Amino acid sequence: MIANEPISVLVIDDDDLVRSTLVAFLQRRGMWVRDAEGGAQGLEVFREHSPDVVLLDLRMPGMDGLEVLRRLREEDPDLPVIVVSGAGIVNDVVDSLRLGAWDFLIKPFEDLEILLHAVHNATEQSRLRRENRRYHEELESLVRKRTAQLEAANWELTSLRARLEMENEYLREELFPVRGSDLFVGISQGLAKVQRQIEQVAPTEATVLVTGESGTGKELVARALHLKSARRDRPLIKVNCASVPRELFESEFFGHVKGAFTGAVQDRVGRFQLAHQGTLFLDEVAEIPSELQVKLLRVLQEREFERVGEGMTRTVDVRVIAATNRDLVQEIAAGRFREDLYYRLNVFPIVIPPLRERKDDIPPLVQHFLTQACRKFGRSETPLKIRHVVEMQGYDWPGNVRELQNFIERAVITSSPGSLRIDLEARRSTWAQDAEAGMPAGMPAGRETGAVPGGESTSAPEPREGILTEAEMKARERENIIRALQVCGWQVSGPTGAARLLGVKSSTLTSRMKVMNIEKPRRAAEGQA
């Protein structure tokens, strides 16, 4: 029986009056009803139409009801059969139930509602029984499949078996989807240079350091390097170093054995082992704690590591691609990054220019993101106007390609059919109004000019007809981040966090706050305590 379809009933009875009465009553109650005047005919109708429930008389000429019941149960063990008889003999009741009848009703009926209730109950119980059987069969099939896979893998080495056992828990979140056709969109010289560098270094085993501002596409470069390498058929494993708790870095990289520390309830494979014979992408590598940088350097040099809590040394074959939006030379000077690790990672540097330096890429990117967003949100695609493109090329996009993509998606959502709403001018107007009010751009009204929570005071740069210096751009970005944090009650991550409001990852926002010396004001922190 298919959900929401009427119940189909087969009435088998040699009494014309009883049969016609039951058919008329059930049809009035919205059921599909077919009837047969004898056992042989009833079996034929059953095989042709597969009803949900059968009402069966016992005393019939030729093939009696018990024989019909036996054959019905042989052909469909889950079919509910309600025996309807006027005999009222105890032996008939016992024999019917023994052969698998769902219920036994004696006619004539004092109340046909009793029959209707029995039909509904029988149909529902049959449906549940069939579903349970299907789930049981699917579960048995899955168990047999998994068991066969495990038995086939018994001959493999312990390390390979551990990787396979951890795959469902760990790998599925970290394997990049293999997409090669839409990795890069653009025509600028800067993007062309990046693509040439990828073509040069991808076939080699060289370690690559990808640098660039947040949102420029460092992950895409890592993916392209992997897909164009000889390791393309092996996993590409990503580690976002900014999102790993400091105390869990070593376990995240190298794995641990059961009981190595509190909470280590089972063995865990680390990212290096998962990436064996493949590629490991270390995103935001500047966030790696200094004490772990030494161990990372050793793995890169010796291709050896130990799991936490295990004395056995393991070998690994991994190509490393690292990425950061920090200036690692400055990090070295500040004592936060090892110089020898920097040179080990920086074998082949690839610098991704920010979007403001490759504005020729904006028109094809806008068209690409517009097509994607319209398909994503089920909207008909609206043709771009030249003034829209020119306006977007006049904006510096501090969030780079990611900000542009988010902006286009918001434009598609807020636009009416046939008209794309581009709201960059409104944003510039807001900046101008803030400047006229004597406040830094992006700061909410009511704050004193230059007062910045958690950092030194800043002054609002005077707008020069929309042209800003690099220092002014950084100041505007800092003030914009502070404003987003204030609106979100200084919550960084989550659905109501500032990262989502700004259209960046929470780890990226945290990193920017560190670089820009933005801290939660003491008063706000006490209010949340």
Alpha helices in 153-206 (DSSP H): 158-165, 167-170, 189-201
Stretch (H or E) spanning 279: strand 279-283
Whether 239 and 324 share a structural domain:
yes
Q: Indicate whether 515 belongs to any domain.
A: yes
pLDDT digits (tens, 9 = 90+) for 33-67: 999 988 899 999 999 988 989 998 888 888 888 89
Whether 412 and 432 share a structural domain:
no
- Report yes or no: 487 and 501 within 8 Å, Cβ to Cβ: yes
Q: Indicate whether 245 belongs to any domain.
A: yes
Whether 326 and 236 share a structural domain:
yes
Domain boundary among 398, 422, 446: 422
Whether 207 and 337 share a structural domain:
yes
Q: The pTM is what? A: 0.51
Domain boundary among 328, 353, 378: 353
Q: Indicate whether 315 belongs to any domain.
A: yes
- Report yes or no: 506 and 493 within 8 Å, Cβ to Cβ: yes
- Report yes or no: 82 and 105 within 8 Å, Cβ to Cβ: yes
Alpha helices in 260-398 (DSSP H): 271-274, 290-302, 328-333, 339-345, 362-376, 386-393
Tokens of 100: 């698998």
Q: Indicate whether 393 belongs to any domain.
A: yes
Mean predicted confidence (pLDDT) in 318-346? 94
Which of 74-88, 220-234, 399-413 has the least mean pLDDT?
74-88
What distance in Å separates the CA atoms of residue 322 and residue 153, rounded to the nearest whole number?
33
What distance in Å separates the CA atoms of residue 180 and residue 224, rounded to the nearest whole number?
7
Alpha helices in 202-289 (DSSP H): 218-227, 249-254, 271-274
Residues near 110 by beta carbon (within 8 Å), at least 6 away in sequence: none
Number of domains in the chain: 4
Closest CA to 192 of 352, 23, 345, 83: 352
Closest CA to 354 of 322, 327, 325, 329: 325
Of 88 and 348, the structure prediction assigns the larger pLDDT to 348
The CATH code of the domain that includes 399 is: 1.10.8.60
Q: Position 148: which residue type?
A: A
pLDDT digits (tens, 9 = 90+) for 236-268: 999 999 888 888 888 888 888 877 777 776 778
Whether 181 and 330 share a structural domain:
yes
Helix (H, G, I), strand (E, B) or coil at 211: strand
Q: Indicate whether 502 belongs to any domain.
A: yes
Whether 60 and 194 share a structural domain:
no
Helix (H, G, I), strand (E, B) or coil at 99: coil
Range of the domain at 197: 173-353
Domain boundary among 369, 402, 422: 422
pLDDT digits (tens, 9 = 90+) for 367-401: 899 989 988 888 888 777 878 888 888 888 988 99
